[in-house]
Amino acid sequence: MKKYEILEKPGSIVLLLGNEAIARGAIEYGVGVAAAYPGTPSSEIVETLANVAKVLGIYVEWSINEKTAFEIAYSSAMSGVPSLTAMKHVGLNVASDPLMTSAYTGVKAGFIIVTADDPYMHSSQNEQDNRWYGLHAYIPVLEPCDPQEAKDLTIKGLEISEFFQHPVILRSVTRLSHARAPVKLGEIRKPRIEGSFPRDPSRWAVVPGNARRMKRQIVDKWRRFEEYFSDFPYNKIEGEGSTLIIASGIGYNYAVEAADLLKVKIKILKISTPVPLPRKLILKAVDNVDKVLVVEECDPIVELQLKSVLLDEGLNIKVYGENLLGRVGELTVDRVALAISKIMGLDWDPPTPLKPSIEPPPRSPILCPGCPHRATFYALKIAVKKLGVDPIYSGDIGCYSLGIQPPFNMQDVIVEMGGSIGLANGFSRTVKGRPVVAIIGDSTFFHAGIPPLVNAVYNRTPMLILVLDNETTAMTGFQPHPGTGVKADGSPGRKVLIERIAEAIGVDFVEVFDPYKVKQVVDVLVKGLKKVMEGGVVVLVARRECSLNARRIGFLKGFYEVDKSRCVKCMLCVNEFACPAIRVGDDGYPSVLQTLCSGCGVCYEICPMKAFIRKE
């Protein structure tokens, strides 16, 4: 979208991503502070707000991690400034410590916590359903079904938060965050950007004596939320019949489409407040009903609460849900239709998917042409062969996770942000005779790599930490981080150098290298691995700007061709380096696809015959 399209006048209908709609909702409410750490599928929310922060006069930042982002927004709401924090589902794990206590203290102004869940794990390491956090933390959860409702419920969530002086979670999913739909815009309130914080430790200081009182208060408040949501305008009963579908969030769309596909009239309870479930509305919806199908994405959050309500009320109503729809992956219209047909006794089978006459070959995700990480992996492979060692490669979350693919095969374990160095602390203690190489990105290092690195230095735990610094948060959309020296709104910040952090905490050997200079890189890696085998902690920083950014701004130019008179068809460039711009032609010689070539020149560096020729 255009930079200021998000500020179109009230009454305009604009095509917005779900994430952009959430940002517009925050703008319409008058949010004064927004903070986040980028993570797909959540990144566009704060990115959109950052684009207009100077125009609106609000404060927006990319924080070092989700916990810090949460605390910035939380303390701002404590001070009376409406605030938003946004993160992908696993990011809420990082922020869960302050999350759990935020319900105890509450807030003074609206505070909305956006969790962008990722059913089917399009870009994530797990499929957790963050509605559980609402139940666990006593924080109500709103769940929109489309971009329009995402905007509206962002506003409503902030209103509820301010009215009850309590945080609110807004749950999106990938198909909503990245869906685009017409959204009608409303009035923009003047943002509240300045707050106050009168001293009141009895409310804000969660020592045990205060916390015991606060726990009783939030249990009472939880019952009030149940009452409030029973009259909530975004929860509604449609249709009639002895079979009821209770559909939460995006599940409502699937339920409506499935009923239309089957041409059945059915009673539907649309739920936008899955946590806590509105008890009175539930009891009204199940009146004269003998069976219920719960349609929700991922875990049976609504289903379990529903069964509890029915049991409490002594109602003998058969409840279907995960037993027909499962817990794995995204919902589909066919999955929901099949479940409806089963409980209604209909003879219906999903249509057989159409198959092409020719199956395209599978395409694994790969590093981009010119990616400096490829050169680093290649050099690491040579260094390891030179030393005759078999390292454990402890991987992390980022573009470099693709090092798991052949021909590199250099990500033995990938768990979570910062896990590369954290797990390396354990591997180094328990697996003897194999050096441990922790591979982590620059943004991830700042996010969660520093504490486990300090741990390694303190405990004298030998390992090589290889920081792949491409000077951006590339995997989630090229957002800045402390190592770039640029803030979310594009203004300059203080640049923080990874190598200086490593030196300051006492790392034994620290060096920065350019991945494109392969021979020098191999020498540095060999030296680093030797020091690890001698018991040292080593940090090597592979610094070279992301090739996509470099190409955009003109740092990388031209392309390369193969001089067939020099080429001996050793295929090192194809089989060992595996640049996607290099292909084998019909004549058996490697050739370079000019449309893909970034002009990085690493192919020339590694070719034993120097058969690659630069062209402008």
pLDDT digits (tens, 9 = 90+) for 158-200: 999 999 999 999 999 999 999 999 999 999 999 999 999 989 9
pLDDT digits (tens, 9 = 90+) for 278-315: 999 999 999 999 999 999 999 999 999 999 999 999 99
Task: Report d(CA 363, CA 340) in Å as an integer.
Answer: 36
What would the CATH number be for the domain defined by 372-545? 3.40.50.970
What's the pLDDT at 554?
77
Give the contacts of 521 (CB within 8 A, at least 6 positions apart).
375, 376, 379, 513, 514, 515, 542
3-class DSSP state of 434: coil
Backbone angles phi, psi at 88, to 5 degrees: -75, 170
Start-to-end C-alpha separation, the chain: 33
What's the pLDDT at 2?
65
CA distances from 516 to 377, 382, 563 (A): 11, 14, 21
What's the pLDDT at 1?
63
Q: Tell me whether the CATH fold assigned to 5-230 matches the one assigned to 559-615.
A: no
pLDDT digits (tens, 9 = 90+) for 254-282: 999 999 999 999 999 999 999 999 999 99
- The residues facing 510 across adjacent strands are 539
For residue 361, is pLDDT > 90?
no
Helices and strands, number each (H, E), in the chain:
24, 22
What is the percent of the chain with per-residue pLDDT over 70, rounded to a whole number?
100
Q: pTM of this prediction?
A: 0.94
Name the H helices within 9-105. Answer: 18-29, 44-51, 53-56, 66-78, 91-94, 96-105
Q: How confident is the model at residue 3 (pLDDT cuts 50, 70, 90)?
A: low
Q: Please tell me what DSSP assigns to residue 486.
A: B
Task: Report d(CA 363, CA 20) in Å as an integer.
Answer: 31
* Segments of 160-209 assigned E as strands: 168-173, 180-184
Give the contacts of 37 (CB within 8 A, at least 6 positions apart).
62, 63, 64, 65, 66, 68, 69, 87, 91, 94, 447
Stretch 215-225: mean pLDDT: 96
Contact predicate 303/294, CB 8 Å: yes
Task: Report d(CA 172, CA 41) in Å as an integer.
Answer: 9
pLDDT digits (tens, 9 = 90+) for 75-100: 999 999 999 999 999 999 999 999 99
Kindly provide the b/e burial profile for residues 440-454, where b requires at least 16 CB atoms within 10 angstroms of the residue's own CB: bbbbbbbbbbbebbe
pLDDT digits (tens, 9 = 90+) for 528-583: 999 999 999 999 999 999 999 888 877 788 899 999 999 999 999 999 999 999 99
Q: Is 502 left (phi over 0), alpha (psi -120 to 50) or beta?
A: alpha
For residue 360, is pLDDT > 90?
no
The domain locations on the chain are: 5-230, 236-344, 372-545, 559-615
Segment holding 372, helix H or strand E? helix 372-387
| Domain 236-344 bears CATH identifier 3.30.300.30 | no
For residue 380, is pLDDT > 90?
yes
Q: What is the pLDDT of the chain when averaged over all its residues?
A: 96
What's the pLDDT at 364?
81
pLDDT digits (tens, 9 = 90+) for 336-356: 999 999 999 999 999 888 888
For residue 435, is pLDDT > 90?
yes
- Higher-confidence residue of 113 and 366: namely 113
Cα radius of gyration (the chain): 27
Q: Which of 46, 209, 74, 60 is nearest to 137 (CA)?
A: 74
For residue 616, is pLDDT > 90?
no
**CATH assignment of 5-230, given 3.40.50.970, 3.40.50.620, 3.40.50.720, 3.40.50.10140?**
3.40.50.970
| Domain 559-615 bears CATH identifier 3.30.70.20 | yes
Stretch 104-112: mean pLDDT: 98
Q: Which of 103, 109, 121 is nearest to 84 (CA)?
A: 109
For residue 392, is pLDDT > 80?
yes
